[in-house]
Structure 1
Amino acid sequence: MTGIVTLTAAGAIDATYRVGALRRGTFTRAERYTREVSGKGVNVSAALAAGGADTAAVVVLGADDVRFARGGLTAPLLRIVEVPGSTRVNTSIIDAEGATTKVNAPTPPLSPEAWDATLSALRDELGTRPQPWLVISGSLPELAGTGTPVDLAAVRAAAREHGARVAVDTSGGALDALLADPTGIDLLTPNAEELSAAVGRPLRTLGDVVTAAREIVARGVTTVLASLGADGLVVVTADRAVFARAQAPSVANTAGAGDAALAGFLLGLTRGPAATAAGADPLAVAAASAAEWGAHAVAHASTIVAGPPHGIRALVETSPDLDRVLTAEGEA
């Protein structure tokens, strides 16, 4: 199976609190609490490893938390780039009804030396894997002293040097900058809100999403995997749109579901030749895998998925109803 390297330039410690109810301005004691090394790329690598893939997670972590990271379940996957101080903490508060409230700490700036070390670690991991995938995930830190995010040009150059295909899951200014020049991006994974912002208009139907995704494809991205929350997901290329949706057995924690879906998609894609040989549609296989892994993650209490999905089967439509109206935010 193809090797997959993830890059998390802004690693995090995920702190998850479970409460009976969350009321603004009052004292609440958590019923349960977990703490784990995270960041979107780490979450993706954890799911990939659970699915049997060869993966490594290049992640920037504060020195204060490295010992904790090396004692965790994901430790064998981590290629840690150590920087001074502590790692930012991203907090999830989950109430008895399964609603998740997230507060993410600001992303600290990265020194030029730390960014060079990150690039070196990335090249090392890509160099040990033939025809790898590179997944760039999460927030991008500011390069200290510049006032601008780290430049992904060197990351994309490393990918080209090692013949890696590139998937990107980011947002905000980093996504805007990427969309200005998306050449060489094989897979982009926006959610509906991010895709709407990218094209500058609301997306009310599945057809709206497909049209918007095709505009991104026209800029140079090969494939767009658009997550639609409770409505599922849709995979869009220049000439195809494949919809998939899977029912989660329960809702325990929505944080990390998109990361698991991306991992599931890549797991499905890397099995594409076998699917084709068996007479299956490889894009449909990848879409189904993404939906199943995403639903599986929602049923997990933590943001790290520990094993593959069992008993979850996606509904896949290779000619979806483009007039389907999307669920309004907050109505799922």
Structure 2
Amino acid sequence: MTARPPRRGVVTLTPAGAIDATYLVDGFARGDLIRASEYAREVSGKGVNLSAALDLAGVPTAAVVVLGHDDLAFAGHSPHAGMLRIVPVPGATRVNTAIVDADGATTKVNAPTPPLSADAWAQATDTALSEAAASGAEWLVLCGSLPVLAGTGRPVDATELFTRARERGIRVAVDTSGTGLARALGATPDLDLIKPNTAELAELTGRALVTVGDVVAAARTLIDRGLRLAYVSMGADGALAVSADEVVHAHARPRRLGNTAGAGDASLAGFLVGLADGGSAPLESAVAHAAAWGAHAVAQTTTVLPGLGGLPEAVVTVAPDPATALSEPAGGA
């Protein structure tokens, strides 16, 4: 599958950046002393992972990311340093740990997201908008956990960010979860794109998702309120795009099971590339790319996608059977 980059680029904003530590182990048992066979440490966070994957396809991109001052030197040696636009805050960056077993099972421990000062949030949003305007970007993507605004106990409010982006003709996408996603849609129901996984969509809509039809119906409740497009990453059940008048599904098989961390970010990168490159069938192209890139990412050992060689083929279905059962249902009692 070849991917021509879109004419315009993508700016990502990650207000809760991370250092990802990945341990490869031969076996994992709670309470044991386990020695890793491999270890990797990398600057990460959803937007960083997304921009890194887009960069592999030649898409102009910049990753605005909040990182602790203690880790700036490490970030400067990242292979992706050239695309990072770092907003420094005092202290160390949180560390997210992934333990990958020989059979491909991934155990993740994410450090809590530290509060963010009002000044740092303003600097992050201003930087993202300035970067998008200067580069003529098509998309601004808000990614990852939304931190609490220091001293308020409330999550940062992205409403002004979305409004300012729209005023500049920039399309807005959100890839977050929980209350952050609910607040974003509550304030701006007509977002251009959201990317929940199945569990996040179930939580957002309060629905049990057992079949493909359940997923479509849940996404359509959001579209009925103004959302333009939902891309639902469904893990082993593939990729699903839902708009007001289209439903398209795609599935690709990974060559092997490696580290699942970052697979959703890679799939969103593929979705955006495919959407721009799809000609008369943009949703079919988008989900095909998303499924292929996500399956490819699952086969890697690192969180950040290292390359696009050997992408698996995706099988695309327009108007999939709504009765198809999910292998990984979500929601319900």
Letter in 2 for 1:29: R
Q: Deviations over 1:106-126 (max 9, x none)?
A: 000111111121122112101
Map residues 138-157 of structure 1 onto 2, 5 A cutoff: 138-157=144-163
Query: Partner of 2:316 in structure 1?
Result: 316
Contact 1:7 1:136 in 2 (8 A): yes
Q: Work out the CA distance in 1 between the residues paired with 2:213 and 2:322.
A: 4
Query: Partner of 1:264 in structure 2?
Result: 270
Contact 1:131 1:163 in 2 (8 A): no
What displacement does 1:140 show?
0.6
Distance 1:242 1:329, change over 3 A: closer
What displacement does 1:158 show?
2.5
Map residues 59-98 of structure 1 onto 2, 5 A cutoff: 59-98=65-104
Map residues 209-228 of structure 1 onto 2, 5 A cutoff: 209-228=215-234
- Please give the TM-score of this superposition, normalised by the length of structure 2: 0.94
The percentage of counterpart residues that share the same residue type is 53
Match of 1:106 among 108, 112, 119: 112
2:16 equivalent to 1:10: yes
Question: Which residues of structure 1 form unaligned runs of 5+?
Answer: none
What displacement does 1:329 show?
5.9
SS of the aligned residue for 1:327 comes to strand
Q: Work out the CA distance in 2 between the residues paired with 1:182 and 1:309.
A: 38
Query: Partner of 2:35 in structure 1?
Result: 29
SS of the aligned residue for 2:20 comes to strand
Map residues 293-332 of structure 1 onto 2, 5 A cutoff: 293-328=293-328
Contact 2:28 2:34 in 1 (8 A): yes
Query: Partner of 1:286 in structure 2?
Result: 286
2:55 equivalent to 1:49: yes
What displacement does 1:195 show?
1.0
What displacement does 1:307 show?
1.8
Q: Work out the CA distance in 1 between the residues paired with 2:149 and 2:291.
A: 35
Q: Work out the CA distance in 2 between the residues paired with 1:38 and 1:86.
A: 14
What displacement does 1:12 show?
0.1
SS of the aligned residue for 1:97 comes to coil
Deviates more, 1:114-123 or 1:133-142: 114-123
Contact 2:159 2:187 in 1 (8 A): no
Letter in 1 for 2:293: W
Q: Work out the CA distance in 2 between the residues paired with 1:311 and 1:43.
A: 17
Contact 1:4 1:56 in 2 (8 A): yes
Q: Work out the CA distance in 2 between the residues paired with 1:191 and 1:142.
A: 23
SS of the aligned residue for 2:231 comes to strand
Query: Partner of 1:178 in structure 2?
Result: 184
How many equivalent pairs are there?
324
Match of 1:167 among 152, 168, 173: 173
SS of the aligned residue for 1:204 comes to strand
